[in-house]
Amino acid sequence: MGLTVLDAGVIIAILDPSDAHRDAAAHAVAAARQRGDLLVLPASAYAECLVSPYRRGPEAVAVVDAFVDALPARIEPASRAIASTAAELRARHAGRLRLPDALVVATAVTLRADLVITTDAGWPELRLTVEVLALAP
- Domain range 3-132, its CATH number among 3.30.1330.60, 3.40.50.1010, 3.40.50.300, 3.10.580.10: 3.40.50.1010
| pLDDT tens digits for range 116-135 | 999 998 878 888 888 888 77
Instruction: Write out pLDDT tens, residues 90-119.
Output: 999 977 889 999 999 999 999 999 999 999
Model pTM score:
0.93
What pLDDT digit, counting tens, does each position of 10-62 carry? 999 999 999 999 999 999 999 999 999 999 999 999 999 999 999 999 999 99
Residue ranges of the domains in the chain?
3-132
* CA atoms of 26 and 88, how far apart (whole Å): 31
